[in-house]
Amino acid sequence: MKINHKITSIVLTLGLISSSIYTINVNAETLNSKIQVSNLNLSNSYNIKNENLIKSSKEGWINTNGIWYFYKNGIMQTGWLNDNGIWYYLNENGSMATGWYKVDSNWYYSNSNGIMQTGWLNDNGNWYYLNDNGSMATGWYKVNSNWYYSNSDGVMQTGWLNDNGTWYYLNDNGSMATGWYKVYSKWYYSNSNGVMQTGWLNDNGTWYYLNSSGEMVTNTIIDGWKIDSNGIATPLKDENHSIVYVTPNGKSYHYSKDCTALKRSSSILGMSLNEAINKGKSDPCNLCVK
């Protein structure tokens, strides 16, 4: 069937995704007329019939020159992509991200297949922790029942850590130490918050003394307490007496009222060793120490 009048020329201008402009010259005398397309360079193929454009587009993952891209309804995707429950990140140019990449203010890591990673990651000998959403952890974070610390570069730390003036110890696996732990040949103690302790420590009824560096001291006398080779402190006392003797102005305590150091004092007080220490009489008399 012929059309009523002759169509001499139809000019169509198409705007495509690539922002390029193409011109199509159409000459037709019947409904089944042929359409000639000039200066058209498309990555996708087009079938044109009866003045209708039917697009046969790319879909899903496409590898171009060794680089992966993802298309949906023919449109190249960018940003986060969840494909069958697996997360990928597509750069601004559409290429699939691998290795480290930054999105907004967070760092992420995808393996060589583009799969976003979570949990522990060893990269070139350094350990990193990636949260459930894939973001790299920094500062303090808890994994299962243990605390860990990563610096601003995300590298998990071990050994001694000074955080805002407070000392912590991180084990070889990065977990924060609590309770007793040994570093080289020295013993240390951190409370349940991981804070290294100093000074007197009562652990289940037993007294220990930790110096200013946190080291447990041994084989010495401190504040009238004798500390043995295991660090256990016991008060110095005369086994035959339950009290010690002090003077109001003296700094020492005495096991014997007849100590020669007391002969010049007109006021001698008897009390328990703990009372004497609480009153500032922290040093045993050198003349009567057993």
Q: Which pLDDT tens digit goes with each residue over 87-135?
A: 999 999 999 999 999 999 999 999 999 999 999 999 999 999 999 999 9
Q: What percentage of the chain exceeds 70 in pLDDT?
A: 78
The predicted-structure confidence for 156-187, as pLDDT tens digits, reads as follows 999 999 999 999 999 999 999 999 999 999 99
Do 231 and 216 form a contact (C-beta atoms < 8 A)?
Answer: yes
What 3-state class would DSSP assign to 242?
coil
Is 136 a residue whose pLDDT tops 50? yes
95/84 Cα distance (integer angstroms)? 19
Mean predicted lDDT score pLDDT of the chain? 82
Confirm whether pTM is higher than 0.85: no
What 3-state class would DSSP assign to 97?
coil
Do 93 and 119 form a contact (C-beta atoms < 8 A)?
Answer: no
CA dihedral (12, 15, 18, 19) in degrees, to 10, reads 120
State residue 244's pLDDT score: 79
Which of 99-108, 141-150, 197-206, 254-263 has the weakest average pLDDT? 254-263
Other beta carbons within 10 angstroms of residue 277's beta carbon come to: 18
Alpha-carbon distances of 130 from 86, 122, 127, 135, rounded to whole Å: 15, 11, 10, 5
Domains of the chain: 2-56 (no CATH), 60-117 (2.10.270.10), 238-290 (no CATH)
